[in-house]
Amino acid sequence: MALSMKSAASAALSTKTTRSVAARRSVAVVADMSAAKRVAQAATVGVASLALTLGANAAVIKLGSDSGALVFEPSNVTVSSGETITFTNNVGFPHNVVFDEDAVPEGVNADAISRDDYLNAPGETYELKLTTPGVYGYYCEPHQGAGMVGSITVN
**Is 33 assigned a catalytic role?**
no
The catalytic residue among 1, 5, 33, 95 is 95
* 69 pLDDT above the threshold of 50: yes
Q: What would you measure as the largest C-alpha separation in the chain, in angstroms?
A: 107
Residues 118 and 88 in one domain: yes
Question: Cα-flanking dihedrals φ and ψ of residue 114, to 5°?
Answer: -80, 155
Specify whether 40 is located in the same domain as 66: no
Q: Which of 1, 5, 33, 140 is catalytic?
A: 140
Residues 70 and 98 in one domain: yes
Buried b (16+ CB within 10 A) or exposed e, 102-127: eebeeebebeebbbeebbeeeeeebe
Instruction: Give 31: exposed, middle or buried? Use CB within 10 Å, 0-12, 13-18, 19+.
Output: exposed
pLDDT at position 51 is: 42
> Mean of the pLDDT values across residues 18-43?
47
Exactly one of 1, 5, 33, 143 is catalytic; name it: 143
Residues forming beta bridges with residue 136, ordered by sequence position: 152
Position with higher pLDDT, 64 vs 52: 64
Q: Is-contact 147 71, C-beta < 8 A?
A: yes
In the prediction, which pLDDT does 13 show? Answer: 47
Does 24 score more than 70 pLDDT? no
d(CA 148, CA 132): 24
Annotation: binding site: 95, 140, 143, 148
Whether residue 49 is found in the same domain as residue 105:
no
- Residues at the binding site for Cu cation are 95, 140, 143, 148
pLDDT tens digit sequence for 76-122: 999 999 999 999 999 878 999 999 999 999 999 999 999 999 999 99
Considering the domain architecture, whether residues 40 and 17 belong to the same structural domain is answered as yes
> Which pLDDT score, from 0 to 100, does residue 91 have?
81
* Judgement on whether residues 146 and 72 belong to the same structural domain of the protein: yes
Same domain (yes/no): 47, 65: no
* Backbone torsions φ then ψ of 154, nearest 5 degrees: -105, 125
Report how many domains make up the chain: 2
Tell me what pLDDT residue 102 has: 97
Helices (H), ranges, the chain: 2-56, 110-113
CATH number at residue 93: 2.60.40.420
Residue 140 is among the residues annotated as catalytic for this protein: yes
Handedness of CA 65, 71, 74, 80 (dihedral sign): positive
Predicted TM-score of the model (pTM): 0.64
For residues 94 and 141, membership in a common domain is answered with yes
Q: Residue 137: is its pLDDT beyond 60?
A: yes
Closest CA to 93 of 124, 116, 113, 63: 63
| Same domain assignment for residues 74 and 120 | yes
Top-confidence residue, 39 or 19: 19
Rounded to an integer, the average pLDDT of 140-151 is: 97
5 in catalytic set:
no
Average pLDDT, the chain: 78
What average pLDDT score do residues 131-151 get? 98
